[in-house]
Amino acid sequence: SSSSATPSITAIGTYNLVVTDPINQCTNSTSFTVSYSDGTLTPVWNETFEDIFDGTQTDNGSTAWSVDISKMQTVNLSAYSGESGTPYYFEVRNNKLIAKTTRGEVIWRSQPVNISTAGQVKVLVDMTGEGSLNDNTDCGADCFDYDYIKLFYKLNGGPEIPFSVNGDIPGKVVLDSTEASTGIISGSTIQIIIKAYNTGNNEIFYFDNIRVAKVEQGSASTAISAVSSGALTCLNGAVTLSASPILDGVTYNWTGPGAITNPTASSIVVSVGGTYTLNFSGTTGCSSGGFVDVVVVENRTAPAGVIAQVSGPITCSNNNVTLIGSISGNPSGLTYQWSGPGVIVQPSSLNASVSTPGTYTLTVTDASNGCFTTATVDVTQDLSAPEGVTATSSAVLTCSTTSSNLVAATTTTGVTYLWTGPGTITNATSATASVSAPG
């Protein structure tokens, strides 16, 4: 037994509560049944605000609800004289219930929801907020900068019961919350109440998926599985293996191909692929023991067949050359990056252009796993001019000698020639040319 209003228990069964008034010793009693749960929630009543027109403040359909805006814009509004004309509302817009710049408490109430045949249920609310929200303190009805969301429910038509207590404020939730829920509840009917208050002209609360869900019961032989957080890749060198669900009174022991730190924990981190086995045994009836395997997949294959080539050397006539990359099969999902000593035009393409000699590296990366392969190519240059170049004339032009041969010579083989000058040149692209004009 316990004299606490909130005792902790570890066994299933029906628990009886007796509440005594110390002044007159009068009592009242109730009971609550605790059972196993597999964590599954089945909707009993769910308001998603889908197919509801913008501006709606009352719904009389299968998920009926209404709003109370009688206190909207009732605080000392002189503090907001510089924000006159700011839109304010508490209604459905864009398939959400939205409270904007209420400057007074607004209330949303669901219909009483029948839960008599659902057994044990929970109430859940999705919510977000934006703007300069401030939930530091509850500073009263005439407060200009305090914002809040308070969540309550009524069980069997009784008094409002807060979802939780944040500090000394019943029902108040932290404003950066994204979901709020009650504990497990049972009864005949339940009604959900949302109270909201915001002040600034940019402050908005959004509510969605306001729901009552049945907590599905599990069994004493709840199945345990093992799951992996993902695959091993070049970017992700380790993954987490976890037992699910984690049950009280169950011991674990992991075995597998890789080193395992703390193998008796419910979750482990491994860095080697392969099949891992989770052995488990129970002492509380939640699991009688057994084992389950989980496969850790390795995806650490780098791109194959990467080749880097160059179109030729840098020369006096060709000062830009092309870097040429290739890969076997041209698979998709790859990225390319050239690096090297000079400026590279289009460095993230298979083919790039450079004008500086040196060693260039092509890195090909598989975007799906971060693995990469590199290949290098040397860019050379040949800027050597022909050596030992001489030019002579066979004769001096006179009245009787009207032409002369120009003779070129060089110690470099394989060269080409081009004569230019003031007169007509015969055989201008030969080593020996003929001219008839001085110059």
- pLDDT at position 287: 45
Low-confidence spans in the chain with pLDDT less than 70: 1, 5-6, 8-13, 31-39, 76-85, 136-145, 165-169, 217-223, 248-249, 282-289
Q: Where are the beta strands (DSSP E) in 198-289?
A: 204-217, 225-228, 232-233, 239-244, 250-255, 267-270, 274-282
Q: How far apart are CA 230 and CA 297, in angstroms?
A: 8
- pLDDT at position 140: 55
Asked if 239 and 228 touch (Cβ cutoff 8 Å), the reply is: yes
The DSSP output letter for 272 is S
Asked if 67 and 249 touch (Cβ cutoff 8 Å), the reply is: no
The sign of the CA dihedral 392, 397, 400, 403 is: positive
The predicted-structure confidence for 323-361, as pLDDT tens digits, reads as follows: 999 998 878 899 999 999 989 999 999 999 999 999 999
- pLDDT at position 285: 44
Q: How many CB atoms lie within 10 A of CB 374?
A: 15
Q: How many CB atoms lie within 10 A of CB 197?
A: 23
- pLDDT at position 146: 74
Asked if 66 and 109 touch (Cβ cutoff 8 Å), the reply is: yes
Q: Does domain 307-382 have CATH number 4.10.520.10?
A: no
Supply φ then ψ for residue 78, to 5 degrees.
Answer: -60, -25
Q: How far apart are CA 49 and CA 210, in angstroms?
A: 9
- pLDDT at position 10: 55
For 225-299, CATH gives 2.60.40.10
The predicted-structure confidence for 194-213, as pLDDT tens digits, reads as follows: 999 988 888 899 999 999 99
Cβ within 8 Å of residue 365, ≥6 positions away: 303, 334, 335, 336, 337, 371, 372
- pLDDT at position 167: 53
Same fold across 225-299 and 307-382:
yes
Pairing of strands 239-244, 267-270: antiparallel
Q: How far apart are CA 232 and CA 300, in angstroms?
A: 7
Asked if 268 and 294 touch (Cβ cutoff 8 Å), the reply is: no
Would you kindly state where each structural domain of the chain is located, as residue ranges? 42-217, 225-299, 307-382, 387-439
- pLDDT at position 49: 95
Q: How far apart are CA 341 and CA 360, in angstroms?
A: 7
Q: Does domain 42-217 have CATH number 2.60.120.260?
A: yes
Q: What is the DSSP string of 38-104?
A: EEEEEEEEEE--TT--TT--EE-STT-EEEE-TTTT-S-GGGGGGGTT---EEEEETTEEEEES-SS
- The Cα-based distances of 233 to 118, 240, 276, 372 in angstroms read 46, 13, 18, 11
